[in-house]
Each structure stands twice: as C-alpha cells, then as structure tokens.
Amino acid sequence: AQSVTQLGSHVSVSEGALVLLRCNYSSSVPPYLFWYVQYPNQGLQLLLKYTTGATLVKGINGFEAEFKKSETSFHLTKPSAHMSDAAEYFCAVMRNSGNTPLVFGKGTRLSVIA
C-alpha cells in the first residue's frame, strides 16, 4: 500500500525566505508524485507533478520539487516566500499505472510573516 508523510503540520517563514515543505512516500513501485495547494475556501490546485523523466520538476508560482528515489522524498521548495503563498499544501502519490486514486498526506499549513 502507498502512503505519504508530510513532516510538519505547520511551517512558518518570513517573506523572502526559503520555503521547504517535506514529503516522504512509501511505495512498492516508483510512483507518480504530486503537490497540491489549497487556498482558504477553495479547491485543490495542482502545483506540480513528477511522473517520469527529469527528477527536478518546476511548477507554478515559482515552486519546484525534486524526486529522490534513494531518499523516497519529494520535497517542495521555493527560493523566496511571498505573502500570497500562505495556504495548505498537500503531497500526494499515485500508482504509476495512471488515473488511479491519489493518496494524500495530511497537509502542511504554510504561514508567511511580513
């Protein structure tokens, strides 16, 4: 069975500082990996995804994530936080046969301090 662990339910950074949200996964086969963002009272928006190919994936709003198979990790980073980045971030894994259910982590709430 697949699972996702997001370290830190709440991360707080200063505006302009590095954002690092951690995600580790458990899967018997190389999975597809996703990061979603949820702004207050809104749905889930896809930030980026890794399926195959380059392990460093760039997404929207300046975010990127790197798939590290040896560490079973898919951490999300952004060099410089903006106030508008404050939201809930979810890491998710999917079996690599595609269009199969997403398994989500518990989420990390990112706060950005002015």
Partner 1 sequence: EPEVTQTPSHQVTQMGQEVILRCVPISNHLYFYWYRQILGQKVEFLVSFYNNEISEKSEIFDDQFSVERPDGSNFTLKIRSTKLEDSAMYFCASSDRTENYGYTFGSGTRLTVV
Stretch that binds partner 1, among 10-18, 65-73, 75-83, 104-112 (CB under 8 A): 104-112
Q: Does 46 contact partner 1 by CB under 8 A?
A: yes
- Can you tell me which of 11, 27, 34, 67 binds partner 1, judged by CB under 8 A? 34
Q: Does 53 contact partner 1 by CB under 8 A?
A: no
Q: Supply 16's token pair.
A: 């302009």
CA–CA dist 32, 25 (Å, integer): 10
| 3-state secondary structure string across 43-105 | CEEEEEEECCCCCEEECHHHCEEEEEHHHCEEEEEECCCCHHHCEEEEEEEECCCCCCCEEEC
- State whether residue 39 is helix, strand or coil: coil
- Can you tell me which of 29, 40, 70, 98 binds partner 1, judged by CB under 8 A? 98
Q: Does 60 contact partner 1 by CB under 8 A?
A: no
- Can you tell me which of 24, 77, 86, 104 binds partner 1, judged by CB under 8 A? 104
CA–CA dist 17, 57 (Å, integer): 20
Stretch that binds partner 1, among 19-27, 67-75, 76-84, 101-109 (CB under 8 A): 101-109
Q: Does 19 contact partner 1 by CB under 8 A?
A: no
Q: Which chain residues interact with partner 1 by CB under 8 A?
A: 32, 34, 36, 41-46, 49, 51, 90, 92, 94, 98-107
